[in-house]
Amino acid sequence: MKSRYVLQFFILIVFVFSGCQKKIEEPTTFAANLWIGYAPLYYAYEKDWLRQNGIKFVATLSLGQTLKYYKKGSIDIFAGTNYEYKEAKKVKEDLQAIKLLDISKGGDLIYSNRSIDELKRSKNIDIYEEVNSINSLLIKKFLQIYKIKEKNTNLINISAEKFLKFKMRKNPILLVTYKPNDQNLKKRGFRVLDTAKSLNLTIFDALFVSKKYAQEHQEKIAKIKKIFDKALQILKNNPQEFYKVINPRFNYKHYDDFVSDLKSISWESNRSLNSLVAQEETK
């Protein structure tokens, strides 16, 4: 009789222990930098929706930092552009896009303190950009179209948030950035020379994850997609409330500036995610 109770107790301990083991699960690490198209992700983060669903959010300083973290294996999922997708795929061959977030309609920009004709005549142009990001494709196409020789330029790496405090310079410069980091550039005398849209450069943002990880964490993937859609719906239904939540991070000085930046991207597109990714694969 005693041995029977001992056996039952042992089974109970094993059951409790195995139950605890199931509950201990590593959180999914997910990274995104400040970009107007990722605002719903930051809203979800501020509302604590991500943590509540076992998702650890990493707010990076730049697209380049996000890419670096993914290549090192520090994060499981990331938000990025078609450029980061191609670069990350060199490390993870089974990388796939799982959700289209937005398409840039002018949110990626090139500013300058000179006209294009003046830049063509310049022999020493400083280019400030966040290297190892979509910015490199933007400036490359700009230089090609306007026949500005690379030997007359100096590439200077600058983190995205530093554009907010960037001051006017005397020498010819080009500033390659994206919203909301350009908020103060016009006020300081810089002019927009071109955008991804005017350069006919397709830039899309999506969520990326390896096929293996997606298969092993289908529930988490579904939750992230649902959370993004939920936050986006709040943005559409109540943009002022949405703005109040995300602005401590985005640092807009006026609500109208936020609304204006939203017009520089498209949340919906007639082009499917698969067709956009396929287009990248053929380049």
Residue 11 belongs to a domain: no
Domain hosting residue 127, numbered range? 108-195
Interval 204-216: pLDDT, tens: 999 999 999 999 9
Specify the CATH number for the domain of residue 147: 3.40.190.100
pLDDT confidence tier of residue 22, bands split at 50, 70 and 90: very low
Q: Give the separation between CA 81 and CA 33, rounded to whole angstroms.
A: 11
How far apart are alpha carbons 67 and 79 in whole angstroms? 9
Domain-terminating residue out of 137, 166, 195: 195
For the segment 151-177, what is each residue's pLDDT rounded down to a tens digit?
999 999 998 878 888 999 999 999 999
Helix (H, G, I), strand (E, B) or coil at 140: helix
Give CA–CA dist 91/49, Å, rounded. 30
What average pLDDT is seen over the chain? 89
Number of structural domains in the chain: 2
Percent pLDDT > 90 in the chain is 78
Cα-Cα-Cα-Cα dihedral of 62, 64, 65, 70, to 10°?
Answer: 130
Three-state DSSP at 18 gives: helix
Residue 170 domain-assigned (yes or no): yes
Does 32 share its domain with 89? yes
Residues 256 and 121 in one domain: no
In three-state secondary structure terms, 157 is strand
Q: SS3 of 79, please?
A: strand
Rounded average pLDDT over 228-243: 97
Domain boundary among 195, 219, 246: 195
- Shared domain for 239 and 125, answered yes or no, is no
